[in-house]
Amino acid sequence: MTVLRGLAIAIACITAACSTDEPRTHTAAPTSPLARIEAERDSAQRQLWTLEHQRFRRSEDDALFDEGAREAWRFVDSHLLRSTGLVVPVRDYAYATMWDIGSMLAALYCAHALGLIDDQAYEARMRPVLRTLASLPLYDNAIFGRSYDTRTGAMARWQRTNERLVGWSATDIGRLLIWLRIVATDPALAGEASAVARRLNFRRLVKDGYIWGDNLDAHGRAVEYPEGRIGYEQYAAEGFALWGHPAEKALDVLANATPITVAGQTLFADLRRWDRLSNEPFLLMGLELGWNRVVESLARRMLLAQEARYLQTGRLTIAGEDAVAEPPHYFYYYCVYSNGKQFGIDVQDRRAAVDGPRWVSAKSAFALHALMPGRYSRTALAELRAASDAGGWSSGVYEASGASTATPNINTSAVILTAALVQRFGEPVLVHAQRGPHSHAAERATR
């Protein structure tokens, strides 16, 4: 039997059985016949991906991911603070967003599932984080704020640029909620993780089909607004849906999409402008939750667009959002498409116009190779060795020079650990976690 014929038979069998075998990632099952059909097709697609992953897996890739995970864990372990259980997110910068704290949960969870720490060490590290989250001061006594001091748990009020920090980021909270749900699959930690999620006033976070953030307007007044653009919006909304608060419009990647062409590939721009079409949210959805058919198709076309730029320019192109130690912004979004530009760079300050730096993202390369392994992603990983040293993985290597960005950080570490977990078990993390958090040791023993 050929591989293609075998896969065709497999997907037919999966389609017939998927409505009973697929773990649920949302609180409510589809109710209309059309919605059920779509859900079954998405389930079949995810299970077909698992079969393909198992069929085309290479032993040398397993060794590459295992070593990458050990190097990523070095940063996490060496920057963990006993006072709060939190991790210093970037060397010499102790303030963390909720996105960063979600990455801390991810790193601890995946390190345990991969066998880098045992059960006792895992609980000794995870429980202090959950206790800290249970006691962090809330913005307006309702929602986690934008940034906290990892050393004390105090809410941060100012960025290093002297810009006042107010309100909250629904996008960052969405990532935290995804990882709280994954951690809560362990009965020993479920109560503590759920208590953290219950601290949030979801009525202010999810309204009118969207997720809502809070920040200062042009006149310095606090204002709430629908938050997110294509990719980040859907990823964050998945987190809210996992806790019973679906934002239907935010979950739909096509709701505000308009087609564009980038390097010969049809992609989507956001009708609302200020879009950042970057690898990050799509890869995180694939690693942590599993793709639906629309998102998977878009992710694959984005990869083809990046490979096309490489073939046209000779510059290896793996986009991502990362901490890069270049003033004055220190954090950059390298996008496949952003604000009318192909392969543009964006920053948080919308008044700023930047055209660099450009780098090969380490976490995106690992995630791409775990989800869509091929010659191009393998080439990218081979070019990234300069990004790893005794301190862990930096954000990547600069496109032009191949030199390391020299910025090891929690987000890069967490995604590499997550990619290694997906590579090992061949399924999204939440799906694997729902099979039973205590099964990891037994599965590792059979390898």
End-to-end CA distance of the chain: 27
pLDDT score, position 353: 86
Rounded to whole angstroms, how far apart are CA atoms 211 and 233?
A: 8
What is the arithmetic mean of pLDDT over 195-199?
A: 98
Highest mean pLDDT among 120-124, 213-217, 218-222: 120-124
CA 401, 402, 406: angle at the middle one, nearest 5? 105
What is the arithmetic mean of pLDDT over 225-235?
A: 96
- What does pLDDT average to over the chain? 88
Rounded to whole angstroms, how far apart are CA atoms 295 and 286?
A: 9
Main-chain phi, psi angles of 13, to 5 degrees: -65, -40
What DSSP string runs through 312-342?
Answer: HHS-----EEEE---TTT-EEEE-SEETTEE
What is the arithmetic mean of pLDDT over 235-245?
A: 98
- In this structure, which amino acid lies at residue 71? E
Reported pTM: 0.88
160 has a pLDDT exceeding 60? no
Q: What percent of the chain has pLDDT over 90?
A: 76
29 has a pLDDT exceeding 80? no
Residue with the bigger pLDDT between 440 and 406: it is: 406
220 has a pLDDT exceeding 90? no
176 has a pLDDT exceeding 60? yes
Residue with the bigger pLDDT between 308 and 26: it is: 308
pLDDT score, position 157: 75
What is the arithmetic mean of pLDDT over 314-324?
A: 96
Rounded to whole angstroms, how far apart are CA atoms 312 and 50?
A: 32
Rounded to whole angstroms, how far apart are CA atoms 360 and 382?
A: 11
pLDDT in tens, 62-88: 999 999 999 999 999 999 999 999 999
Query: What is the Rg, in whole angstroms, of the alpha carbon atoms belonging to the chain?
Result: 21
Rounded to whole angstroms, how far apart are CA atoms 315 and 134?
A: 46
What is the arithmetic mean of pLDDT over 193-213?
A: 98
Asked whether the beta carbons of 229 and 274 are under 8 A apart, the reply is yes
What is the arithmetic mean of pLDDT over 277-290?
A: 97
Taking alpha carbons only, the member of 93, 262, 242 closest to residue 176 is 242
CA 261, 49, 190: angle at the middle one, nearest 5? 105
